Amino acid sequence: MRGMKIGIDFGSSSLKICTESKGVVVDEPSVAAVERDSREPIAFGNAADEILGRTSDDIELVSVIQNGVIADFSLAERMLRYYLQRVCGNRIYKPNIIIAVSTDTTSLEKKIFLDAVTLAGAGRVCIVDGILASSFGCDVEADKLGGRMTLDIGHQLTEFAVVSMGCIAACGAVRRGSGEIDSALVRHLKRDRDIVIGPHTAREIKYKITSAVKREAETALMLSGKSNLDEMPISFDVTSKEIYPFVDEQLTSLIQSIHDEMRKIPPELLADAADHGINLCGGGALIFDLAQRIEKELGIRCRIAENPRLTKVNGLCAMMKNKELLERNGYRFIFKDEIRDRLKRVDRI
Ligand SMILES: Nc1ncnc2c1ncn2[C@@H]1O[C@H](COP(=O)(O)OP(=O)(O)O)[C@@H](O)[C@H]1O
Ligand SMILES: [Mg+2]
């Protein structure tokens, strides 16, 4: 097969791209800065994120992926084209793309991913289940092991699977994730303290003082925002004790949704996977004490993967080097028209 192989994990919060030879080469927010009237993009990724709040009202930040699927086709295609160009330069052959999607992605949503990647410059495309990639990212031996469970908590998408001998034996997905904590923090400060904060500040609170388990010690953070009363800038502090109930509410609900999905796993398979514990990955795994909380609520041991934000893309990198594994799962690098036919056939079943 001519052309380089490239893996893409287009998450709701960030776009990660890897190549066979270099590993992860792009890790940037999945956002585009667009001109409000014309909808023309002026920056993507880090450059777009940095613009937020620092320019006029004429520029808007758009999340290209929402809940794991493409929310704005034109921006997704142009964003992919921009990064593919950056990664591939002016190579003669088009790159072959392996792209991760969630197990609950519909045929239509897959078609949209396929069109976007192809228009962006892909040659052959291989659509794979992202949670299988996450499993490989957690455990490079996943194609040799019996039932192992991986739970990937992303920004707006949470997935799990029991993988046995390199294939998915059971899986589930909920279109929710750790981004709900950010929204809860924004809502709380506005409603209860008349303080308006932006997404960067919400993220800072989450990263620095949020814990999934109630703690005795209290930590505080000094921040800046805007008064909701007179719209003037203000400094304020926020403490871990103050935000805990809001974080707790979101996590209770998220873990309940995961639990509801996990109930569908056949009993022997679940028992086998539970014996080995859960590999926790995705950026959500970085919430302080989350593994401990999931362990308590689901009654299954949990260990956090190394560098959880990059588990899926690292797994993609491992998978694209393993032809036999791709074949075993029915994944093939094929041209757009061929995939379209396959998806049509799936639709008819
Ligand atoms: N250090 C951290 N502490 C807490 N949450 C984090 C941390 N780093 C990333 N996150 C959260 O993880 C989520 C992103 O995880 P990721 O797996 O990259 O998501 P996606 O694949 O959906 O884009 C975001 O909600 C982000 O705020
Ligand atoms: Mg992810």
- Per-residue pLDDT tens, the chain, 349 aa: give them: 788 999 999 999 999 999 999 999 999 999 999 999 999 999 999 999 998 766 667 899 999 999 999 999 999 999 999 999 999 988 889 999 999 999 999 999 999 999 999 999 999 999 999 999 999 999 888 888 889 999 999 999 999 999 999 999 999 999 999 999 999 999 999 999 999 999 999 999 999 999 999 998 999 999 999 999 999 999 999 999 999 999 999 999 999 999 999 999 999 999 999 999 999 999 999 999 999 999 999 999 999 999 999 999 999 999 999 999 999 999 998 887 776 676 666 555 4
- Which residue pairs from 34-39 have beta carbons closer than 8 angstroms and sit at least 24 positions apart in sequence? 34/59, 34/60, 34/61, 34/62, 34/75, 35/59, 35/60, 36/60, 39/74
Alpha-carbon gap, residue 326 to 125, rounded angstroms: 13
If DSSP codes are grouped into helix, strand and coil, which group holds residue 338? helix
Distance from C-alpha of 235 to C-alpha of 226, rounded to nearest angstrom: 8
Helices (H), 106-156: 107-119, 130-138
Please name the residue whose Cα sits nearest to atom 21 of ligand 1: 11
CA of 283 to the centre of ligand 1 (A): 3
State if residue 155 touches ligand 1 by the CB under 6 angstroms criterion: yes
Q: Is the minimum distance from the CB of 154 to ligand 1 under 6 angstroms?
A: yes
In the chain the domains, ranked by start, together with CATH numbers, are 5-124+333-348 (3.30.420.40), 141-309 (3.30.420.40)
Tell me how far the alpha carbon of residue 49 lies from the centroid of ligand 2, in angstroms. Answer: 18
8 A C-beta contact, residue 164 and residue 143: no
Q: How far apart are CA 198 and CA 211, in angstroms?
A: 20
Q: Check residue 349 and give its pLDDT.
A: 42
SS3 33: strand
Nearest-CA residue for atom 11 of ligand 1: 283
- Of 151, 141, 169, 154, residue with least CA distance to 303: 151
Q: Evaluate: CB of 309 within 6 angstroms of ligand 1.
A: yes
Residues linked to residue 170 through DSSP beta bridges, in sequence order: 162
Q: Which residue(s) pair with 320 in the sheet?
A: none
CA of 285 to the centre of ligand 1 (A): 8
The whole-model pTM stands at: 0.95
Nearest to 15 by CA among 39, 48, 51: 48
- Between the CA of 154 and the centroid of ligand 1 the distance, in Å, is 6
